[in-house]
Amino acid sequence: MDRRTLMRGGLATALLAPGLARATEPALIAIRTDPAQVFRTTVCLRPFRAAGPRIEAETVGRKQVIHNYGHGGSGWSLSWGSADVAVGLAMQSSPRKVAVIGAGALGLTAAITAQRAGAEVTIYAKERFPFVRSARATGIWSPDSRVAQTATMPADFPVQWERMARTSAAMHESFVGSAGNPVEWMDYYTLRDPEPEPAITEPAIPEPFDPGFAYLNDRLRGLMPAYGSVAPETTPFAATQVRRGANLTFNIADYGRQLEADFLLAGGRFEHAEFHAPSDLSKLKEKVIINCTGYGARALWKDESIVPIRGQIVWLAPQEGVHYGCYRDGIGVLARRDGIVVQDFGPDEAFGWNDANETVDPLSAQATLEKLKAVYRA
């Protein structure tokens, strides 16, 4: 589901059936918010397209190119379902060999899917894990996060999206229980307080720009475990309303390594390559190419329909006994095994919109930690 909807509250009405709280609540440990726990800060640009991901064929010279990019904040979440569609197009001519451009989440899953369809696959990429943009993702299954605009997406997109989301969910679930925990279920808490009544003398606040993102959660109703209310006093959270559910999460450090290993084990090859224009594809020996260049497609294919949406993550060192996620007032936390992800999602949907700055903002990172402190009782 959309990450902001998921984290903010309204979960039972999003895609989950109403649930009841458990009889007993597991003991939760507050996350340490000391700046000394920070081991890195990263920035990720989500490649948003108003019409939704570009998954279609194009003839470039003598090459058949299958585009598979522009998934917004849903790259990991939709990767397997998107690969299924793209590879289906690629295999229509029954090629013996297939090239994949890009070694991120979409490139790896497309390459593995093509292998399973019977093709010999080579991935051409400038960078591999952990240096691809996919490695800087939040790591929560959120298949309609900034994936399209309601007013612009094609009429059949919701049906295609649902098919991709369900295919991806099933594939991700198949990794649960694997060594290294590349994918796992994690308890997630949404925290709220009653909305205060606005003061009569309070000046009017201008409405923020609304990108008009499409929310397709209802099409997946019942796919994920139900959320239910939790007694706030049984938790360390400073909130009067607490809800808990479970969601798929990605230990991206291990997931990326496992996908690379699976690809290589099946006979795949990596080749270092840089592409600056579509004409550069003529250098490849493969006639069928799956283009999974993500945000890089904006420059490579001169695709101005891609809008960058910036997100900055503060990484805290893993903490013994802390393995859950939570959200309050724009701050999302995910205690993954490869680090505790803390992200400020901002006051509205326009936060980070059309911001291509990939430079870390230390002051913003410090402010994010200060906001995290308010999540817990003093």
Q: Which pLDDT value is given to residue 226?
A: 87
Mean pLDDT within 2-17: 45
> Measuring CA to CA, which residue among 293, 368, 284 is closest to residue 68?
293
Q: Which pLDDT value is given to residue 18?
A: 44
Q: Which pLDDT value is given to residue 324?
A: 96
229 confidence band (pLDDT: 50, 70, 90): very high
- Cα–Cα distance between 84 and 246 in angstroms, integer? 26
Reported as a single tens digit per residue, the pLDDT across 61-95 is 999 999 999 999 999 999 999 999 999 999 999 99
378 confidence band (pLDDT: 50, 70, 90): confident
C-alpha to C-alpha distances, 242 to 28, 31, 185, 335, nearest whole angstrom: 13, 17, 19, 18
Mean per-residue pLDDT of the chain: 91
Question: H or E element: which one contains 342?
Answer: strand 339-344
Order of strands across the sheet that contains 97-101:
54-60, 63-69, 288-291, 97-101, 120-125, 269-272
- Cα–Cα distance between 330 and 374 in angstroms, integer? 12
Reported as a single tens digit per residue, the pLDDT across 291-324 is 999 999 999 999 999 999 999 999 999 999 999 9
Whether 340 contacts 31, CB under 8 Å: yes
Q: Is pLDDT at 129 greater than 90 in this prediction?
A: yes
Q: Which pLDDT value is given to residue 254?
A: 96
Q: Which pLDDT value is given to residue 57?
A: 98
Q: Which pLDDT value is given to residue 349?
A: 87
Q: Is pLDDT at 11 greater than 50 in this prediction?
A: no
Chain centroid, CA 172 distance in Å: 13
Q: Which pLDDT value is given to residue 19?
A: 46
> Measuring CA to CA, which residue among 142, 137, 165, 185 is closest to residue 325?
185
Q: Which pLDDT value is given to residue 162?
A: 98
202 confidence band (pLDDT: 50, 70, 90): low
Q: Is pLDDT at 1 greater than 80 in this prediction?
A: no
C-alpha to C-alpha distances, 145 to 71, 91, 345, 372, 376, nearest whole angstrom: 9, 29, 12, 22, 27
Q: At 45, phi and psi to the nearest 5?
A: -105, 120
Q: Is pLDDT at 326 greater than 50 in this prediction?
A: yes
Q: Which pLDDT value is given to residue 27?
A: 83
Whether 219 contacts 204, CB under 8 Å: no
Q: Which pLDDT value is given to residue 217?
A: 87
Strands 97-101 and 228-230: unpaired
Paired with 67 in beta bridges are 56, 291
Mean pLDDT within 117-122: 98
Reported as a single tens digit per residue, the pLDDT across 32-45 is 999 999 999 999 99
5 confidence band (pLDDT: 50, 70, 90): low
Q: What is the DSSP letter of 139?
A: -
C-alpha to C-alpha distances, 333 to 194, 249, 254, 345, 377, nearest whole angstrom: 21, 12, 19, 11, 16
Mean pLDDT within 262-275: 98
Q: Which pLDDT value is given to residue 9?
A: 46
Q: Is pLDDT at 14 greater than 50 in this prediction?
A: no
Q: Which pLDDT value is given to residue 58?
A: 97
In this prediction, what percent of the chain has a pLDDT beyond 70?
A: 90
Mean pLDDT within 128-154: 95
Output the CA angle 337-342-343, nearest 5 degrees.
135
What type of residue sits at position 59?
A: T
Q: Is pLDDT at 283 greater than 60 in this prediction?
A: yes
